Structure 1
Amino acid sequence: MSRPSSARWQKPVTVLLASLLTATAVIVLLNREALHVATGSVSDSLCAAAFVSKVDPDRIYAEEQQPLMASIGWAVRYTVDRRSGEVRSSVLGLFPARAAYRNGLGCVVMHGNGRVPEAGGLKDPAAPDTFGPAIVTPADPALRRALDLAFAEPDPAHPRLTKAVVVLHDGKLIAERYAPGYGPETPIWGHSVTKSVIQALIGILVRQGRLRVDQPAPLAAWASPTDPHRAITVDQLLRMDSGLPFDETNGPVNPATHMWFREADSAAYAARMPLEHPPGTAWGYSNLSFALLSKLVGDATGGTAVGGEAFARRELFAPLGMHHSVIETDATGTPLGAGFMYASARDFARFGQLYLDDGVANGHRILPEGWAAYSRSQTLNTGYGAGFWTNLVNTGSVPVWDAPWGMPQLPKDMFYARGAFGQYVIIVPSERLVVVRLGLTVQGGGTGIGDATAAIIAALHRQTTAGLPAPPQ
């Protein structure tokens, strides 16, 4: 029996290879946006890891970015250039993305190989931490168990990867814990906790008489009398009932990810987005709204990255002692206030304390009187306030996400800033308590921070009942 010749196999193999190449080309063409978003996300995240947080970018890629890449993680390539302060990434050499570090301004996603804007940036502040250099480990066993709960990993298939927990009671630091490689000075990505910080900067402009929440948002892009956006107020942008669409849906491609990683001018993109509802009639989670609020902050502070960051430092960060904080910007200099602030867990706790103290820090009024109460006042029939989540609704779920509105195990007056992958600044006025939790809970399963906070409250109540002295400072 004769053996088949190679010629007999050549045609089928050629056809198979052609089919595979065609299928690959179709997949690439259909997923161009997702691949561009993926490389933009990788470049920006790893740039911040290396140069802002100063943690291992390879570890951040493995814990944060790779789980988001699904089937393309094997094809992603990235380089961290510590000399130039840049990170570049691609998918097998295609869909390149570049992010560059600017001292005092964080990282910026660059669109092309041009010059980095405002590369000089600002000097990082050098100031002592008012909480002291040592990590505060609680003596109370119940508080230690509560921290254990916050760092527990009950489900290996859904790792929580808690990186930092900080607890303030009556304005005093009573407990904290950090994952290996992290500490009291490590700036960590706050994601949408940034929205609440932008809300504070809007509040400062209101206190200064430069904005009013009940006025139409003074955006040049909406200046035409015939523009339906023109009626949208600052309050409606803060409350996410502006009529702009629910823009952060499941999957890598949505208006939010496009805005962050594909647009040089985030606010211009947000301003072009058509309305889905008349303003004030429907709630929808809105990164677009906070991009526009960030534009208002930028316009009021000179329209540059340095101007906006200097304003945030002078009016908010410095008075609170937040010396390890930065809000990144887009390529035009507008703050990326929908989700790109990095701060230490202690700094985020100081921010929460500002709202616990009705906008006053060290005897100096930062926010308008009553601004904290306004922040947690209910929007429509939702569990959202004005730039903060609330605990007023414990039934039903957030539209689209199918996630709970609040934390029923905590007091009703609790309100909180919240960010993707388990970032929380929890404020409980009735308990004089602030709890910050930061981590990389990318793969679902929850963080357990609601139960951990309830355990903290229970521990503080036991101390009061037993007549124990306050924790030493």
Structure 2
Amino acid sequence: MKLFKIISLIVIVILIIVVYLQYPRLNIIAGYAAKNMSSNVFISNRKVAVINATDNNVPSIKLAKTEVDVKTKLTTSSVFGLLSRKALFRKGQGSVVIDNDFDIHQNFLIPKRTANTSNLAYPYGTGAPSDSVFTNINYSNLTAAIENGFVENNKEFQKKTRSILVLYKGHLIAEKYAKGFDKDSKFLGWSMAKSLLATIMGVLEHEKGFDIQKPVIESLRLKDWKNDNRSKITTHHLLKMISGLEWEEDYAKISDVTKMLFMERDMTQSQVNKELEFEPGTHFNYSSGTTNLISGILRSQFKTQQEYLDFPYTELIDKIGMNSMLFETDMEGNYVGSSYAWATARDWAKLGLLYLNKGNWNGTQLFNESWAEYTTTPTKQSKNEYGAQFWTNTDGFIPDAPKDMFYADGYHGQRIFIIPSKELVIVRTGLTHKNRTGSYDIMNSLIREVVGSIK
């Protein structure tokens, strides 16, 4: 009996230690599960059971038990009953993981929207895509290329492709969806939101003369930055991810990015509070915190939050008819430019087409042509892989793709590929659980086959 008590005590102590050490991780697991469920249910109109069986059925996250209250728009996730997190859906601002101090009954501002109701054919209107036939396209090969993008032929991991769409010379020439998805399904872009935010900054430059070369401290009151070399950091440095600020971008553990996305009230401040590791402009470090700091700079350009919330929609998103788009905010009402924008594959393709046309949308210039060149010019410190919130293929990282290709790149294999030399935009969404390099085996094949079908 005495031995049993000793063993039981040891087991209890071990459990206490494990829970203590893993508690912060449980916080992030529950936060992710709640946020992901909330957005999928209330934005993408998907079923709870389906999300539990797919999106949340991944290592660690599947440990959470999640419940949705449709009436209150509250989603609650708990892990082993030890810790629970809540996410709230707000009309116009999307879902957000909340803390215990968050007032769910407050009045939330709603961004001003003006839907594009033009009867022009897609992509410039809401009409059906025009039935265009190009003699230089081998449609059998194109169809095979799209079909291959959905075929599961790798034992190590599954593609889990959800949509593939191809625009050629502004015409929809191919489109396919996995079971359960269609042209009206909204997909989370993850880091494709970075490219969206960069575009908004380009519009800000075009319309209001915003200067990306000015120090950040001229836009934001950052007292601590005035006393060291952080005072030299410009919006240009942030866009190019060469600010020199500390940041750890690792989604597999407790890191700067996971703490920011699932624990912070104001995500524009996560990067602000970091110290310099390198002189500004000398070192590339991919950072979602950096992008959310840019979102804070954007907000500083307006007198009111309502103006800030309206600007992306009235001056970009609605102007190009991305009617399905919802750009989510954090607890303080800041756009989460690093990660949280939802839209249909067709609407994501419109962003790519805007860049293919160097900022011109059906005759209206939304950002300067020089901005398109700036965002796609490779940053030397990134080994020529990164432009300004877009990735580039200048040095052939994707070997079978044209070197003038650039692209928006999101977690789990969300992509918008823009290929100027071929007049192509390719959108691919999915749930691919593979690191960035590994997932490019899928992307490389898709691009090679699509490009190869056009003579």
- Decide: shared fold, TM above 0.5: yes
Match of 2:384 among 382, 385, 395: 382
2:444 corresponds to: 450
Q: Are residues 1:431 and 2:430 paired?
A: no
Q: What does 1:216-255 align with in structure 2 at a 5 Å threshold?
A: 216-217=215-216, 218-222=219-223, 225-249=226-250, 251-255=252-256
Q: What does 1:83-98 align with in structure 2 at a 5 Å threshold?
A: 83-98=71-86
Letter in 2 for 1:393: D
2:136 corresponds to: none
Cα pair 1:136 1:174 within 8 Å, conserved: no
* 3-state secondary structure, aligned to 2:453: helix
Single out whichever of 256-265 and 438-447 deviates more from structure 2.
438-447
Deviation, structure 1 residue 417 = 0.6
1:53 corresponds to: 44
Deviation, structure 1 residue 52 = 0.3
Letter in 2 for 1:346: R
2:153 corresponds to: 154
C-alpha distance in structure 1 between counterparts of 2:379 and 2:362, whole Å: 31
1:6 corresponds to: none
Q: Percent identity among equivalent residues?
A: 30
Match of 2:110 among 121, 144, 154: 121
Cα pair 1:192 1:419 within 8 Å, conserved: yes
1:340 corresponds to: 340
Deviation, structure 1 residue 158 = 1.3
1:190 corresponds to: 189
Cα pair 1:188 1:344 within 8 Å, conserved: yes
Deviation, structure 1 residue 62 = 3.2
Q: Residues 449, 17 of structure 1: CA spacing in aligned structure 2 closer, same or farther, 3 A cutoff?
A: same
Deviation, structure 1 residue 126 = 5.2
C-alpha distance in structure 2 between counterparts of 1:247 and 1:330, whole Å: 20
C-alpha distance in structure 1 between counterparts of 2:336 and 2:388, whole Å: 18
2:20 corresponds to: 29
Cα pair 2:244 2:278 within 8 Å, conserved: yes
* 3-state secondary structure, aligned to 2:36: helix
Deviation, structure 1 residue 268 = 1.9
Cα pair 2:250 2:258 within 8 Å, conserved: no
Q: Are residues 1:413 and 2:404 paired?
A: yes
Letter in 2 for 1:392: T
C-alpha distance in structure 2 between counterparts of 1:24 and 1:302, whole Å: 52
C-alpha distance in structure 2 between counterparts of 1:181 and 1:429, whole Å: 32
* 3-state secondary structure, aligned to 1:346: helix
Letter in 2 for 1:20: V
Deviation, structure 1 residue 93 = 2.1
* 3-state secondary structure, aligned to 2:97: strand
Match of 1:103 among 62, 67, 91: 91
Deviation, structure 1 residue 262 = 0.9
Cα pair 2:66 2:76 within 8 Å, conserved: yes
C-alpha distance in structure 2 between counterparts of 1:137 and 1:81, whole Å: 44
C-alpha distance in structure 2 between counterparts of 1:147 and 1:137, whole Å: 18
Q: Residues 28, 296 of structure 1: CA spacing in aligned structure 2 closer, same or farther, 3 A cutoff?
A: same
Deviations 1:119-138 (A, max 9, x none): 36357765558425769999
Letter in 1 for 2:449: A
Deviations 1:255-303 (A, max 9, x none): 0111111110111222111111110010011111101101112222445
C-alpha distance in structure 2 between counterparts of 1:216 and 1:135, whole Å: 45
Deviation, structure 1 residue 184 = 1.5
Deviations 1:101-160 (A, max 9, x none): 111221111111632354363577655584257699999221110111111111254121
2:171 corresponds to: 172
C-alpha distance in structure 2 between counterparts of 1:138 and 1:421, whole Å: 32
Q: Residues 118, 61 of structure 1: CA spacing in aligned structure 2 closer, same or farther, 3 A cutoff?
A: farther
C-alpha distance in structure 2 between counterparts of 1:165 and 1:20, whole Å: 51
Q: Residues 66, 21 of structure 1: CA spacing in aligned structure 2 closer, same or farther, 3 A cutoff?
A: farther
C-alpha distance in structure 2 between counterparts of 1:167 and 1:300, whole Å: 36
Letter in 2 for 1:446: S
C-alpha distance in structure 1 between counterparts of 2:10 and 2:114, whole Å: 58
1:328 corresponds to: 328
1:297 corresponds to: 298
Q: Residues 162, 249 of structure 1: CA spacing in aligned structure 2 closer, same or farther, 3 A cutoff?
A: same
Q: Residues 242, 41 of structure 1: CA spacing in aligned structure 2 closer, same or farther, 3 A cutoff?
A: same
1:356 corresponds to: 356
Letter in 1 for 2:356: L
Single out whichever of 411-420 and 137-146 deviates more from structure 2.
137-146
Cα pair 2:32 2:262 within 8 Å, conserved: yes
Single out whichever of 381-390 and 424-433 deviates more from structure 2.
381-390
Deviations 1:26-67 (A, max 9, x none): 111112221111111111110001000111233333333332
**Structure 2 stretches of 5 or more lacking a match?**
134-138
Letter in 1 for 2:13: T
C-alpha distance in structure 2 between counterparts of 1:120 and 1:207, whole Å: 26
Deviations 1:219-249 (A, max 9, x none): 2125753143221011110000000234212
Give the TM-score, by structure 1 length: 0.87
Single out whichever of 229-238 and 123-132 deviates more from structure 2.
123-132
2:7 corresponds to: 16
Q: Residues 412, 302 of structure 1: CA spacing in aligned structure 2 closer, same or farther, 3 A cutoff?
A: same
Q: Residues 327, 416 of structure 1: CA spacing in aligned structure 2 closer, same or farther, 3 A cutoff?
A: same
Cα pair 2:129 2:172 within 8 Å, conserved: no
**CA RMSD, aligned part only?**
2.3
C-alpha distance in structure 2 between counterparts of 1:192 and 1:432, whole Å: 24
Deviation, structure 1 residue 316 = 0.8
Q: Residues 163, 292 of structure 1: CA spacing in aligned structure 2 closer, same or farther, 3 A cutoff?
A: same
Single out whichever of 83-92 and 425-434 deviates more from structure 2.
83-92
* 3-state secondary structure, aligned to 2:333: coil
Single out whichever of 52-61 and 216-225 deviates more from structure 2.
216-225
Cα pair 2:111 2:313 within 8 Å, conserved: no
Q: Residues 106, 279 of structure 1: CA spacing in aligned structure 2 closer, same or farther, 3 A cutoff?
A: same
Structure exhibiting the larger radius of gyration computed from Cα positions: 1
Single out whichever of 245-254 and 261-270 deviates more from structure 2.
245-254
Single out whichever of 379-388 and 322-331 deviates more from structure 2.
379-388
Aligned length: 437
Q: Residues 98, 184 of structure 1: CA spacing in aligned structure 2 closer, same or farther, 3 A cutoff?
A: same
Q: Residues 243, 61 of structure 1: CA spacing in aligned structure 2 closer, same or farther, 3 A cutoff?
A: farther
Q: Residues 113, 216 of structure 1: CA spacing in aligned structure 2 closer, same or farther, 3 A cutoff?
A: closer
Single out whichever of 185-194 and 248-257 deviates more from structure 2.
248-257
Cα pair 1:106 1:328 within 8 Å, conserved: yes
Letter in 1 for 2:181: Y
Cα pair 1:360 1:367 within 8 Å, conserved: yes
Cα pair 1:247 1:288 within 8 Å, conserved: no
